[in-house]
Amino acid sequence: MKQRPPFPARLDLSSGRPTPARAAGKPVAPQHGARALAGMPPTRLAHAHGPDSTAVRRSMVHKLQQQGVSDAQVLSAMRTIERHRFVDSALGNQAYEDTSLPIGLGQTISKPSVVARMAELLRNGAPDKLGRVLEIGTGCGYQAAVLSLLAGEVYSIERLRGLHDKARENLRHLRLPNLHLLFGDGMMGYAKGAPYAAIIAAAGGEAIPQAWIDQLAVGGRLVAPVSAGVGGVGVQALMVVDKTALGVRQTVLEAVNFVPLKSGIA
């Protein structure tokens, strides 16, 4: 079996293969207990670093349940990952509110309710973890961290170098061995890791790129925002795409608001 790249990784634009990423400057010694995080259960991982945000995370998850999120694995992942670590310290007091927040370069971190909703749709009631997942748009890395607790393996691709580097730093303390970060054009997907059991996108375009459909496994599910085509420019809706042996089935759900899907790297 082909060996998967270590975390974190970046896309080698000359070869198209993920390669180990290096931190800039002098290596930093691991924090106390960091070496043990890779094998730490999610319930312990949440308390391993930083200020204790357990109470506010529990409150956030309770609100998600009130909004209709019921998948136990999704709720556990949302309870585990500390969202305040993925936003600027000045916005830390808003980290567990159900709101999107700026993360730089004109991008935002999605609302907790949107992350949970999309993750629940992606899982679709599966009794076990998902297999290999592709995330389009790493952003600050928060959703990638949540997905890493819901899937056997996650590839997350980001087109903006500044955000790719920020996500690497944000995620470094978690030492998630099944999460691979890639720098590249998300519209092209990542064929080297295909087929994927699930694909999720954090940016919306006029249509689902054919590359994503091609890289989705038969029996797999894709969740992404798309332009709704009604009500004026900029209106988006959440779309679920199920790939079966007989073809592709698309289901349009509620209105959402995501940053636009763009091609290329910057």
Catalytic positions, written as ranges = 110
If you search the block for the tokens 């209105």, which residue do you land on? 255
Residues in contact with 68: Cβ distance below 8 Å, sequence separation at least 6, in sequence order: none
Number of Cβ within 10 Å of residue 107's Cβ equals 20
d(CA 139, CA 68): 26
Question: Per DSSP, what are the bridge partners of residue 102?
Answer: 108
d(CA 85, CA 218): 36
